[in-house]
Structure 1
């Protein structure tokens, strides 16, 4: 029977995380599994707790949203430690890409009985973040600005905070001139964003890269070109289904190493947490993480 260590940040969405864990924890214990809970003071501390639990041969449960999943999953990338997710955040996009069930009974069955799956991770390097590893995507442009607004929102939660953040970001955004290098080949791009996607989802369920796969050893590079704001709002709405990829303003490439630079200060983010400015280099790490799904 598997032995679990659940890692929770009590200050970042703590009540939702505690509630989600409580339901699953009872089911795991009733099935005979061991479960201990570790409380983190920060994302860096959560990574330390995850590595320590992994060294003890325990399954690490990341309890929270994409920031917690990405931080802990990134720390465990390249190790043999098994990762499980208890989604309890605003976006839960990596859990969505894994097709994890939302009902506690079904999620407990996944954690108890499913075989591990190997998935890719993303290595991120920049002048600010010398090296970090994330799970879902790295995005540079208006979406990074929107995510910053969503993270700072106090009155809205979930998809509503992302939508409001997006509206605020788009109304102030002016297109940037990007240099995007994919496996050594440079592409010039003027527009709203460049996304290097391992997971198809970001921004609380938006299907930015419909053909992205977690285990294909490639990143899907989605570039949205300059367009009138009215058209961009229509395109944003199409992100719900992935229909935006048929627009001529959207270009998709694939590669293993992507460098993104711009002609001015452009923010980038990763898994809802890493915030810095371009340039940034990202690389896929194939089959680097064992996860339950």
Structure 2
């Protein structure tokens, strides 16, 4: 199989680079606290099982402040993602128009809402109709600052690794990494 080099964007959070996603908010903690044995046994369903006893804490949300050239906003969030990828957590289309080489960070925030509205939003995510949902904030930017005021509610994750930081200045590094990809799409 013939391969070719391809340049992709990187994110820079403080002094740490990421190629995939920076995530925070109360829902984010589930991925770090779910038992590995449950994950092996039940796959994706393990996350739901792990979330049940934590629902009260999760639905309290996390107070965040977002600042960028496009937007300044302060609110309670269940989850926020800053990504270069349309696939997050193995789920295609979470951030549908994100591309690894478009020169932008894609910011998606799931706002704190009622339990029923949030359940509907989760169904909308599965159907791919969530971007226009009133409890979703979505925009593209080159630089963003996220301040998470309740550090005990959730830590941030950078490319799947938990960090203890509660404030991040994040910017895009266009074409900051060269990877090798197949020259033809694999069927």
After TM superposition, the score normalised by the length of structure 1 is 0.55
* Cα displacement (A) at 1:275: 2.4
Pick which of 152-161 and 136-145 moved more.
Answer: 152-161
Distance 2:133 2:123 in 1: 12
How many aligned residue pairs are there? 176
Match in the other structure for 1:141:
25
Higher gyration radius (CA) = 1
The RMSD of aligned alpha carbons is 2.1
Match in the other structure for 1:156:
39
Q: Residues 145 and 213 from structure 1, CA distance in 2 versus in 1: closer, same or farther, beyond 3 angstroms?
A: same
Distance 2:131 2:123 in 1: 12
* Cα displacement (A) at 1:260: 0.7
Match in the other structure for 1:250:
136
Match in the other structure for 1:202:
88
- Structural mapping, 1:109-258, within 5 Å: 109=1, 113-125=2-14, 131-150=15-34, 152-157=35-40, 158-167=43-52, 169-173=54-58, 174-183=60-69, 185-205=71-91, 207-258=93-144
Q: Residues 255 and 285 from structure 1, CA distance in 2 versus in 1: closer, same or farther, beyond 3 angstroms?
A: same
- 8 Å CA contact 1:162–1:204 kept in 2: the answer is no
- 8 Å CA contact 1:196–1:258 kept in 2: the answer is no
* Cα displacement (A) at 1:245: 1.2
Match of 1:278 among 166, 170, 186: 166
Bigger helix share: 1
After TM superposition, the score normalised by the length of structure 2 is 0.82
- 8 Å CA contact 1:193–1:223 kept in 2: the answer is yes
Structure 2 gap segments, 5+ residues each:
182-187
- 8 Å CA contact 2:32–2:162 kept in 1: the answer is no
Match in the other structure for 1:288:
176
* Cα displacement (A) at 1:195: 1.3
Structure 1 gap segments, 5+ residues each:
1-108, 126-130
Q: Indicate the structure whose relative CO is greater, using CA pairs within 8 Å and at least 6 residues apart.
A: 2
Q: Counterpart of 1:208 in 2: which secondary structure? A: coil
* Cα displacement (A) at 1:221: 0.8
Residue-by-residue CA offset, 1:180-237 (whole Å, 9 max, x unaligned): 0123852222221221111112122253211111101101111111211222123223
Distance 2:64 2:131 in 1: 19
